[in-house]
Structures are given as C-alpha cells and as structure tokens.
Chain A
Amino acid sequence: MLIMVDSKYSNIVLGYNDELIWKHLKHLCLQTVTSEQIEHLHRRFKQLSGDQPTIRKEHFDNIPDLEFNPIRSKIVHAFFDKRNLRQESDGLADEINFEDFLTIMSYFRPIEMNMNEEQLDHFRKEKLKFLFHMYDSDHDGKITLQEYRNVVEELLSGNPHLEKESARSIADGAMMEAASICVGQMEPDQVYEGITFEDFLKMWQGIDIETKMHVRFLNMETIAQCH
C-alpha cells in the first residue's frame, strides 16, 4: 500500500515500511486513523487543492454543499487558524499543507474505548478548544458579546427575513446565561468582559462533546485498526 504525501516531504513516495514518516503522521494525534483513512483524506486533499501541495481559502469554494452552511466562513477560517494548527504564532495562515489538514481533522476523531480519565479530559479539552477558537474570532482569548452576536447572526442567517435585532437579543440572552453560569451572582458594579476558555468549559459541561463531535467517516475502521 502506497501513501503519497504532498507536504514538506513533497513528492516522496512512501512504501508501507517507511516507519519514520508513518510514525510521524501517526504522532499527529492520529492514533486511531488507519492508512486507508489517511489515503482517503489525501485523495480528498488533492481533489480540493487541484493537485497542488497546499490549499488556500479559495479552494474551499469548490465544495458545493458547503455553500449552504451558515457558518461556512467560520469553518474555513478554522482550517487556517494558526492556533488550531498548533503553531506558536497567532493569526491566519495563508495556505495549509496536507499535514495541517490532517491536524485539523484530528480534532474530529472519535473517542477510543481504552482512554483513561486524563486522556479523556485532554481529548475533551482539545475539541472544546477548537470550538472556542471558532467563536473567538479576534484571537483575544475571550468571546465577547459582539463575537457571540456574530455567531448567532451567522447561525440564523439561513432565514433571510429574520430581523438582525432578534439575533442580537438572542445572543444577549445567551450571554447573560453564560454570565450566570460562569460567575453566578455578580455585584451590581461588576462587568462581565467575555467568556474565557474556563467559562466555556463550564458552559459545555452538560453536553458530552466527546461522543458528539466526531465525523462518522473516521469511525468506520475502528474494528480493523492498524496498531
């Protein structure tokens, strides 16, 4: 089985026995991904990029079904967000290669049966961090009211006749709720700046994201795992 990896190892044709590179890919937190899945993703990557080594934002326009997605821009944005790509710098990358693509996809891998508490916690935090970055568009580490409003507006943008003010009020209501969850009773003079990541974690406590946030495709081969 061959894997062609168009990345910094550009044009290297890997044999199945090339342990080092294989290990590297696996090390990208992709322990549960099999070679077939990597191959599938690679094929998809090539299809999106038009056989180029990297993908730019424009390439995502070629996906017809993505057009109808209300949070399309945020999703695309998330792929280029340097914080998600585990790079030290901040801001947006211009283009991503296959390795980065796999890194983003690794956020959507399913839960494993044999995870212990610590791993589960890390797993959950990773996913929530990804979501947090999507909400927090200005990269300041907090979700402010404006950003939250932006999210709600985008979510409801599918209904063209919905008033913008309704979306804002909804966002305000949600923000107040968040404030009450995160800070509880506030003093009259206290100001709630925005939702930090810790608060975000609290808000998602009731929802079991480990089981919800995975793409079914990545689940198929769990029976025939590589390792």
Chain B
Amino acid sequence: MNIRCFPRKFSSALPPLVPLQLPSPMETHLWYILPNEVKSVALLNQYSELLSPCERENVNRMGGDQLKKRALLARALVRTTIARYQTNCQMNPRSLKFRKNIYGKPEIGIDVEGKQRKIKNDIIAFAQRYFSPCEVKLLTAISDSEIQRQEFIKLWTLKEAYVKALGKGFSAVPFKTFTIRFKASTIRCFHLPGNSVSEASEVIVESSDDPKNLPNNWQFALLEVAASHYVAICTEKDKIVGGEANRPMKLTVRKTIPFVEDVCVSGTDAVLVLGGIIEQ
C-alpha cells in the first residue's frame, strides 16, 4: 500500500497521538483492540471523524450495531497506529490516504479467529475439500471433537497468514497445495539476555507443488490472545549470512484504545504462545 501524509493541525477534540518508534528490521509489532472495552459513544464518534468518507460508508453498510462498531474500530486502529509511526511529521490520522497497488508485496500475513467459533460444516469434510492430505490425516486422528475444532481453527489461521504473507491471493496458493505442521524445535536460538523466548514447537510449511517458493523462508507465530482469539502471524525469516542458526521471531504485542491508552501485553497472560519460536 502507498501512504501519503499531509501534516495538518489537529482537531481540538482529540489529544495528540503519542508517537511510536518504528520497529527495528525483522521486528514485528502487533496491536489489537477489544471492542468491549470501548463504550464511550463520544469516543466512537471521534473515531468516525478520522475515517475517509468511503470508509465511513463501508462502516454504515455493515448490518447491525456490533458489526458497525467492529468495522469502525478496525479502521480507526489502522489509521491511528500508522499515524503514530510517522516520525518525521506530526501526523493527523485523518490525512492518511490509502491506495492499493499491485506491486505491494506484504511479506507479512496475519489472521485472527475467535477460539469459540463454531464450524457449520463437518470439519473433516471441510478439511478434505480444502486442506492438504497430511493435514486431513492429522485432524482425523484427533478423537476429541472440541480439540479437533480448536486445532482446525489454528490451522486455518496459520494457512491464511501464510497465503496473505505471500501476497498472491487465495486462488494463487490454494490451501490444498501446502501443509503446515508443528515440529519439535531442534534449532538453537540466539536472543538477548533478559528477553523471554518461547520454545513451543516450531511451525513449518511444506509446499506440495511449487519448487520456486522456498517455504523455509517463512516463520510463524501462533498465539492465543486475550484468552479469546487465535492469532497467526507469518513473516519472512531473517537470513543470517554464513550462519546455520535461526533467530526467533521478535514480537511485541500491545493492546490499545486509540487516544486513550496502550498496554504492552507481551510476556503476560494475555499472550500465550502456542507455536513458533518467539522472542517477546
């Protein structure tokens, strides 16, 4: 995406946004907002002011108040968070213009699903239709239907995150053509002393039919956030010249209410690492 910024005076209604330091290379920042924590109608109206007319129209098109609120918070979160990383000028989030272009390759993908989400179709039938044979086998082997459902959702988020990171769209990388699985971590990790490194199983992807795409370039994080949602993140691996070692994914997770508060939740109960080698 291209972003252009036009410095402008702030509206007097909202406090200025607290600026943020950009992540260092190969560092990932994850921000989330919990809709239930945003109750003030006045605040929601102020968020609405930040959106472009097009975005506001999209929000209004959503069916029902809960969906409208979610859509509004999502756009407000994007605008305010990006605005805070603009260190050159004091950014007004309202001034951001988003353009999509075909050249943008994300190199990072993310997907979120509610833990309690019910699957309407038969899980194995769904997996047989869309997942790889290896993944079907793994899911079929789970006898507890609740655990099977949870593992299905985790797998879905990981697969979505991978496809998004590749940036080619769902149809270019059909889910059936690659397998994502967990493998016990045998790699040595280097990390700064004092940081916590979770060494849950490593998450790896194997491509069935694309030799050009080297799945070893990608690393994953699978998290349980706020005890309610599974979050999968897929990023390119940091290539270390001449070294065998892999670095963990450097991740900082923050919960936020724009203009009100940020809470760094990395390393707390709010962020449970379920998969991937993560340094928080």
Do A and B come together as binding partners? no
Q: Which residues of B contact A (CB under 8 A)?
A: none
Q: Which residues of A contact B (CB under 8 A)?
A: none
